Amino acid sequence: TRRVGLLLMRSSTAIARAAFGGWVDVFMEVLEARWLEDKRNAVIATKVALLLMRSSTTIGRAAFAGWVDVCAEEKEARRLEEERNAVVTKRVAMLFMRHITFIVRAAFSGWADVSVEEKESRRLEDERHAAITKRVALLFMRNS
């Protein structure tokens, strides 16, 4: 053990230098790995940026094409809705035309009833007015 101690004392500087050298080698490898990783990330970021810059027109065109498709779908939906409304209107018109004579008869009958009631109301009003006028005239003649 003494010899080992002497050997270690004599070679302590060499051992320290070797340990420090190994530590420096490991540290430099770690730094180099970090530098390479940063470099890879920078290259990837640059490539992604270039890809985005190159494809911005493509992305814009794709967005515009999608917008055009949405507008075309909306236009088609409106056209279909208008066609449905036209069909419903046509069916209602056809139903109306089938029953127009009944509708006209009902309207005319209603008008005739209202007209008869109005004539009766006017006749009663005229009779009341005539009776009042007659009474006023009689009262006037008595008082004169």
pLDDT digits (tens, 9 = 90+) for 21-32: 777 788 888 889
Distance CA 110, CA 104 (A): 10
What pLDDT is stored for residue 83 in this prediction?
Answer: 93
Q: Which amino acid, residue 94?
A: M
What pLDDT is stored for residue 144 in this prediction?
Answer: 67
Q: 59 CB contacts (<8 Å, ≥6 apart)?
A: 52
Distance CA 47, CA 35 (A): 18
121: pLDDT strictly greater than 90 = yes
The CA-atom distances, in angstroms, between 108 and each of 95, 96, 102, 111, 113 are 19, 16, 10, 5, 9
Can you tell me whether residue 26 is helix, strand or coil?
helix
Q: Which string of DSSP letters, residue by residue, matches 98-142?
A: HTHHHHHHHHHHHHHHHHHHHHHHHHHHHHHHHHHHHHHHHHHHH
- pTM > 0.75: no
pLDDT digits (tens, 9 = 90+) for 32-78: 988 888 888 888 877 877 777 776 677 777 777 888 888 889 999 99
The CA-atom distances, in angstroms, between 38 and each of 24, 34, 122 are 21, 6, 105
Residues 27, 31, 37, 41, CA torsion sign: positive
What pLDDT is stored for residue 127 in this prediction?
Answer: 94
What pLDDT is stored for residue 11 in this prediction?
Answer: 66
